[in-house]
Structure 1
Amino acid sequence: MNFKHEDTLDYKYNNHLEIAKDLFQFAEKCLEKNDNISFRMGIGRLYYAFYHKILHENEEKLKSKESKQMHWHLFNNNGLPEHYRKSLLLLQKMRKWADYQTESHEKEVNIRNLLAICQRIFEISIKIK
């Protein structure tokens, strides 16, 4: 999709999965670059890709949840195998660092591995317990 600024005013996503897919693709593009701000943006968009994917797959179940608890619930109570759940929790911690911290990330991150794991998780249906 190519948008001019005025095109975005009338554009509407039909569901959370469409947003999730766009965010995931944008995150991949950001993470391919080798600079600090692109890394931070990529991590944040990757996190929100999962946020919207899980919302899409659990809309009925999540209607009663308060938005303050939503992020915790989605990333901690998602019914994923432990390895994948831990990967999403790590992504959540990285997103907080990317959005709020000024210092460098404390650990080296293998972007290819991160994207490969996230791609596998993204393809799985994620159902809230």
Structure 2
Amino acid sequence: MTHADYAKELNAFSYKTEDLKIDDVSDETMLRIRIGRLYYALFHRIINELPDMQASTSSSQHSQVESRLERYASNGHTGRVHRLFKDLKTLRVWADYQVDRPIPKHNMTVLLKKTYTAINSKKIFP
């Protein structure tokens, strides 16, 4: 499986779990899971174009991805992906670590569409 394939499957998971109800799992927990999967869908799609980062297991890998995107942020498409990555990263931090905080303002429909567009684009970097 490639990083791009994995990205597409994670994105599909986020779409298909929108109305999924599981006993003993709250709607908020499902939202947190979906946000995390969207973030990682985009993350894996991005590193699909960064072979030097694919083998890394460093926790700084996420910051490195953001820095690479920022370098090309003046490019229209890469700039949009950069903003989406930052938004999803902020939401993922909430989803994974800020369990005592209220849900940040977001629009899941827009996040799903933007992530779908980004991960299905031919190239992220110019």
Match of 2:3 among 13, 16, 25: 16
TM-score when scaled to structure 1? 0.73
- Specify the SS of the correspondent of 2:37: helix
Residue matched to 2:15 = 28
Unaligned runs of 5+ in 1: 1-13
Provide the residue aligned with 1:71 in structure 2. Answer: 62
In structure 2, the residue corresponding to 1:67 is in which secondary structure?
Answer: coil
Q: Assess, with a 3 A threshold, how the Cα gap between structure 1 residues 105 and 76 changes in structure 2: closer, same or farther.
A: farther
TM-align CA RMSD: 2.4
Q: CA deviation at 1:114?
A: 1.4
How many aligned positions are there?
113
- 1:44 counterpart = 2:36: yes
Q: Identify which of structures 1 and 2 has the higher relative contact order when contacts are C-alpha pairs closer than 8 Å and 6+ apart.
A: 2
Q: Percent identity?
A: 28
Report if the CA contact (8 A) 2:4-2:48 is conserved: yes
Closer/same/farther in 2, CA of residues 101 and 17 from structure 1, 3 Å limit: same
Q: Distance in 2 between matches of 1:99 and 1:27?
A: 16
SS in structure 1 of the partner of residue 17 of structure 2: helix
Aligned to 1:101: 98
Name whichever of 91-100 and 71-80 sits farther off: 71-80
- In structure 2, the residue matched to 1:7 is none
State how far apart, in whole Å, the 2-side matches of 1:84 and 1:56 are. 14
Match for residue 118 of structure 1 among 94, 115, 120? 115
Quote the offset at 1:94 in angstroms.
Answer: 0.2
Which of the two has higher C-alpha Rg?
1
Structure 2 letter corresponding to 1:18: D
CA shift digits 1:37-81 (9 cap, x unpaired):
11100000011111211222221x326867232101112322353
- Give the whole-Å Cα distance in 2 for the aligned partners of 1:71 and 1:89: 10
